[in-house]
């Protein structure tokens, strides 16, 4: 918004300077200087004010460059904020996932430790193959290892 106002002010000054041909300086009743192009009294001092035409193409080019810089800065800021939000969300999901896996592995370990017999599903529906004592010990050790890995001492 500020660059637009600046550009408008430059164009307004350039436009008004092109129309003003003479500038006079006079004093008001309190002795303060007053600058005008239409003096009230003719003992006013005529000033030589040099004006310059504004190159509208150059002004527009500078304005476009400045807007492009603002856009780039805004995109970088938005991108950085989005990346930060994504990282925070990923960390939250990872923490939630880790807590869920810890609970599941702890429950599995507890059920393996409390069970007298463990089995694997068979090839047909309703068929089971019961594990031997050595296989039960191995399954319990694997469940303990998984629980330790996911829970990290929780």
Q: For residue range 110-132, what is the model confidence (pLDDT) as tens digits? A: 998 998 888 888 778 888 888 89
pLDDT of residue 121: 83
* Contact yes or no for 51/18 (Cβ under 8 A): yes
54 DSSP assignment: -
Query: Rounded mean pLDDT of 91-115?
Result: 86
* Contact yes or no for 130/118 (Cβ under 8 A): yes
Query: 54, 52, 61, 48: which is closest to 9 by C-alpha?
Result: 54
pLDDT of residue 20: 47
């Amino acid at each position: 918004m500020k660059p637009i106002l600046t550009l408008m002010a430059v164009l307004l000054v350039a436009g008004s300077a092109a129309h003003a041909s003479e500038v006079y300086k006079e004093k008001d009743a309190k002795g303060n200087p007053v600058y005008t192009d239409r003096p009230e009294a003719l003992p006013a001092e005529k000033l030589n004010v040099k004006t310059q035409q504004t190159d509208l193409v150059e002004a527009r080019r500078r304005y476009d460059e400045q807007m492009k810089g603002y856009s780039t800065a805004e995109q970088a800021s938005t991108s950085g904020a989005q990346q930060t939000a994504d990282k925070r969300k990923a960390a939250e999901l990872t923490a939630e996932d880790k807590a869920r896996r810890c609970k599941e592995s702890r429950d599995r370990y507890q059920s393996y430790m409390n069970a007298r017999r463990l089995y694997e599903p068979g090839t047909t529906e309703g068929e089971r193959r019961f594990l031997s004592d050595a296989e039960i010990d191995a399954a319990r050790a694997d469940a303990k290892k998984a629980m330790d890995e996911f829970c990290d001492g929780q």
